[in-house]
Structure 1
Amino acid sequence: MTTKPKSRACGSFIGALLLIFANVFIPQNTFCQEKLQPNVIFILADDLGYGDVKSFNPEGKIPTPNIDRLASEGMKFTDAHSSSSVCTPSRYSILTGRYSWRSRLQRSVMGGFGPPLIGANRMTVASLFKKNGYYTACLGKWHLGLTWPIKDSTLKDGWGIDYSKPVKDGPTTLGFDYFYGISASLDMPPFIFLENDHTLGIPTVTKTWMRPGPAEKDFEAKNVVPSITHKAKEVIVNGFTKKQLFFLYLALPSPHTPIVPDKDFKGKSGVTDYGDYVMETDWAVGQVMQTLDSLGITDNTIVFLGSDNGFAPYVLPHFNVEKLGHFPSYIFRGYKSDIWDGGHRIPFIVRWPGKIQAGSVCNKLVSLTDFMATSANILGKRLPQNVAEDSYSFLPYLLNKTKKSIRPAIVYHSIEGYFSIQEGDWKLEFCPGSGGWESPSNKEAFKEGLPLVQLYNMKSDISEKLNVALQHPDIVKRLTSLMEQYIDKGRSTPGKPLNNDAKIDLWKKGYME
């Protein structure tokens, strides 16, 4: 088993300065060739709504001082989106720069025992950084599938796995030097930590967090955020002391269910346990920032922060924060799972002191899928034609090098596999309902005889209340043609046509009964 990074003392102030200066070099990128190449941290919260963050929703009831500080010191994106309104496909897109619906996963998400979704030969953001001399670490929620060693296929629910043997095809085979985390969501078994290609211990009991399953006897859901946060600090310190640039993908499992705030946060928000868990998520972000500050490497570290999708509505029956005046979807329609903006418009912040203007705001459309092309741009590298098929670099926005729109259009996907495409202010949805859990669901909408498509002008109708598809058939036709082109070409970026991994059904005709 690979030895995990160990925390070390930082040494003297002068030694720290020497380490910092030894830790940088001049990149070749057109936009930042005179700058120092940074460490890179991508913090991904789980189900954090746009309205959960105070700097995005001033009327919000939950304090988020650390995320707000990040926004005040960097650039806040008001029109940023995950590629999907649920987690597995969004994570696929972040790490590959490719829409997940081009893979075999056409709808829904994977479970904790699902097979690998990212192909073994596909370039990832991690392999890109590793190839360019970075130490790469993945911490937290993976949720992209693993190859578990099966000992008895007749035993179901995870008990047929030989947990004493290596787990294959995980993060360390896709460009990460180190992995510490959980296989999927915190409410999905197995309830056990993994380090690199092994579980830490053997499940011997059954535990339940929303779902029952095999668990290591000492594993407790409430300890996962603190454990992963501590490990993130170790990785940062380790990279600093070894004078090595690092890429840290920190995939927090919060504030996704189960809502399990640590005792230090219990009752702190005044907005139910959910608010407390959001505060713990904010605390984790603050711990990362504090570690960078203490080492003196804040200015040489670019921090990205986002969420994998919108707020989960199944929290409300137990923790109805909306009744208390807190609206996690802010002014947007829908929630996690839906094709409307509440499902995929997310809080997104990027901080790079001295390069990104503090307190700046970008109102342009961006996708988390763009992280890979942006990372390559930061490194000054050109990506091969057959990777990052749907990724556009937004580095020019970060460095205030352009006011023009970089993305010609952006595609969204709902939990049921329904599509939407947005070009400028016009958003076309290829379904009559939510495409997810919110009412009217597509089945309800079909029964009600609602139009088969929805068209909204997001400038004049940001809450998607007035469907104007019948009034603008020309726009519907144009955007439908563009969506079909993106499907048929196997990419939405310029370049040679590529193949999708599966047949794509734009209209989901089989779901219309």
Structure 2
Amino acid sequence: MKSWLNFSFFLYLILFRGTDVLAQGLDAKANPPNIVIIFADDMGYGDIKALNPLSKIETSALDALVAEGITFSNAHASASVCTPSRFGLLTGEYAFRTPEAARGISGFAPLVMQENRHTMAKFLKNAGYRTGIVGKWHLGLDWVTKDGKPAVLDAESGHSNVDYSQPVGAGPNDFGFDYSFIHPASLDIPPYVFLENHRVLDPGVILTTEVYPTRKENTEFSWDKKHSNDQAVYWEKGVWWRQGEMSPSFRVEDCLDEITGKGLAFIERQSADSPFFLYLPLTGPHTPWLPSEEHKGKSGAGLYGDFVMDIDQVVAKVKKQLERQGLLENTLLIFSSDNGAYWPEEEILLYGHDSNRGVRGQKGDVWDGGHRVPLLISWPQGIKEKATYPGLVSLTDLFATFGGLLNQEIPEGAAMDSYSFLPVLQGDTGFVSRTEMVHHSSSGMFAIRTQEWKYIDGLGSGGFSYPGRLDPEKGGPQGQLYRIREDPYERENRYADYPQVVEQLKSQMEGIINR
């Protein structure tokens, strides 16, 4: 009898270890934590001083998050560019399952999510949360147009056919957000407007070139000029944006401050009586690199590094607002980025600053620099000790983790690529939530990683680093295989040495893609 009781207890530990939130004396269902996700745009793991002692950027607020909570040292966005990464975060699903969401889109693109799509916001709203999004959307909007045709920008004139006086037909409020204050896309992509609950503020648009000169007297073109045409504003490396329509009161240099202010105002409207969820996707440090006067020239990584210091200050302001209202203790504060930094070798050599610390490639690439991201989670009431988690995690996994935390069942068919890492929040840094992950580059090159290997289904970076794609040589490798545990920089292609591993991983990858 005694042996049976011991076995039962052992079985209980196996089944329920990591799913019982009461393990830390918390009843998250009875006292659910607030959730705030601060989502940087194009920021690298190595920008944060506490994660990279050689960083040329001071990041005191982010360093404090590292000291207070859990650092995920092997976290990855579900794709290496904006739109598919954001789709993955909010839906818990790889974006390549929805073709419209699988690539970067313009500011005039229609919604990339189906009308009945379950999102993290909808899930939390159904769990009793007040929900809000403030910042960069970049998942499409159903614009109303003057001619009844799909929204389109005339690149030559800079004008579109959008009727900005009309509310959009569909947007973030249709996917679980009670409140929305958004910029449609990246800050170098028109239209340059804010929408509050689907209505454009200050809808009498002008052209950006009516306010900003296209060139300055000392303008010198750099490696990023390839992203803009002769009509675009281009002042110097990293300081450029495409020509297009803009609200008369909109100022590109003030956008981050506007978003931060609206995010703080949303928090100010909350109380401890009801939990809230704030998704705060920032427009920086994506181009244009327009740091505040307070931080200009203060980093050792140029305008980009100065702009990262502004992002760090946003984190400090959010924490201070939460603390002021007595909400910080029971707030799950999450910081991450949508993809790796757009930081080529030229910038590493110029500044001695490795934005994507210790990995190959940059934004857009299928190499790790494209999708490895910082992921920091702080929760004073729930996470008592600083820790680093080395296990594999995707940003898609936040969805299932919230479900486990709140003991709420995720709707059938939703978040199919999300795996809960709740036990890690409870202190179990040996927990394994996933054993493989599929990566997706800006040009649609796929890869799969396991704990030991990374297989890439093609040659080249698949993204912004040269060469983007290479044709196989006769008798040469058709793809790339790296023993990632021993070769994290992806230097030695072992494709020809391990044909069985290639075959197995390719089959495994295709099975996940076609699931």
The TM-score normalised by the length of structure 2 is: 0.85
The answer to whether the 8 A contact 1:337-1:414 is kept is yes
1:296 equivalent in structure 2 = 326
1:30 equivalent in structure 2 = 20
Deviations 1:27-64 (A, max 9, x none): x9633463532000111100001111111111110001
Specify whether residues 322 and 449 from structure 1 end up closer, same or farther in structure 2 by C-alpha distance, changes over 3 A only.
Answer: farther
Mapping 1:317-336, distance limit 5 Å: 320=347, 322-336=349-363
1:502 equivalent in structure 2 = none
Specify whether residues 165 and 283 from structure 1 end up closer, same or farther in structure 2 by C-alpha distance, changes over 3 A only.
Answer: same
Choose the corresponding residue for 1:105, options 84, 92, 100: 100
- Which amino acid is the alignment partner of residue 201 of structure 2? L
1:416 equivalent in structure 2 = 443
Choose the corresponding residue for 2:82, options 81, 84, 87: 87
- Which amino acid is the alignment partner of residue 183 of structure 2? I
Give the drift of 1:155.
Answer: 7.3
Mapping 1:192-271, distance limit 5 Å: 192-207=193-208, 208=233, 209-240=240-271, 243-271=273-301
- Which amino acid is the alignment partner of residue 174 of structure 1? F
1:371 equivalent in structure 2 = 398
Matched, 1:477 2:503: yes
> Comparing 133-142 with 98-107, which one deviates more in the overlay?
98-107
- Secondary structure of residue in 2 paired with 1:101: helix
- Secondary structure of residue in 1 paired with 2:99: coil
The answer to whether the 8 A contact 1:107-1:416 is kept is no
Specify whether residues 407 and 155 from structure 1 end up closer, same or farther in structure 2 by C-alpha distance, changes over 3 A only.
Answer: closer
Choose the corresponding residue for 1:386, options 413, 422, 437: 413
The answer to whether the 8 A contact 1:87-1:109 is kept is yes
Aligned residues: 457
Matched, 1:280 2:275: no
- Which amino acid is the alignment partner of residue 308 of structure 1? D
In structure 2, stretches of 5+ residues that fail to align are 1-17, 209-232, 234-239
2:127 equivalent in structure 1 = 132
- Which amino acid is the alignment partner of residue 245 of structure 2? P
Choose the corresponding residue for 2:66, options 65, 71, 79: 71
Counterparts of 1:79 and 1:487, CA distance in 2: 22
In structure 1, stretches of 5+ residues that fail to align are 1-27, 490-513
The answer to whether the 8 A contact 2:392-2:435 is kept is no
The answer to whether the 8 A contact 1:89-1:105 is kept is no
Counterparts of 1:287 and 1:308, CA distance in 2: 21
Counterparts of 2:498 and 2:307, CA distance in 1: 44
The answer to whether the 8 A contact 1:29-1:381 is kept is no
Give the drift of 1:356.
Answer: 1.9
2:480 equivalent in structure 1 = 454
Counterparts of 1:302 and 1:250, CA distance in 2: 13
Counterparts of 2:283 and 2:322, CA distance in 1: 22
Counterparts of 2:248 and 2:291, CA distance in 1: 20
Choose the corresponding residue for 1:142, options 109, 114, 137: 137
Give the drift of 1:213.
Answer: 0.2
Specify whether residues 323 and 136 from structure 1 end up closer, same or farther in structure 2 by C-alpha distance, changes over 3 A only.
Answer: same
Matched, 1:425 2:476: no
The answer to whether the 8 A contact 1:192-1:203 is kept is no
Counterparts of 2:513 and 2:300, CA distance in 1: 47
- Secondary structure of residue in 2 paired with 1:346: coil
Give the drift of 1:159.
Answer: 2.4
1:361 equivalent in structure 2 = 388
Give the drift of 1:447.
Answer: 6.4
Runs of 4 or more consecutive aligned structure 1 residues displaced over 4 Å after TM superposition: 447-450
The TM-score normalised by the length of structure 1 is: 0.85
Give the drift of 1:328.
Answer: 0.7
Counterparts of 2:58 and 2:486, CA distance in 1: 30
The answer to whether the 8 A contact 2:83-2:101 is kept is no
- Secondary structure of residue in 2 paired with 1:442: coil
Identity %: 40
Compute the RMSD of aligned alpha carbons.
1.9
Specify whether residues 310 and 203 from structure 1 end up closer, same or farther in structure 2 by C-alpha distance, changes over 3 A only.
Answer: farther
Give the drift of 1:448.
Answer: 9.1
The answer to whether the 8 A contact 2:343-2:355 is kept is no
Mapping 1:4-43, distance limit 5 Å: 30-32=20-22, 34-35=27-28, 36-43=31-38
- Secondary structure of residue in 2 paired with 1:145: coil
Counterparts of 2:349 and 2:252, CA distance in 1: 25
The answer to whether the 8 A contact 1:113-1:158 is kept is no
> Comparing 139-148 with 292-301, which one deviates more in the overlay?
292-301
- Which amino acid is the alignment partner of residue 224 of structure 1? C
Counterparts of 2:119 and 2:335, CA distance in 1: 18
Counterparts of 1:44 and 1:410, CA distance in 2: 21
1:495 equivalent in structure 2 = none
- Secondary structure of residue in 1 paired with 2:75: strand
Give the drift of 1:170.
Answer: 0.7
2:230 equivalent in structure 1 = none
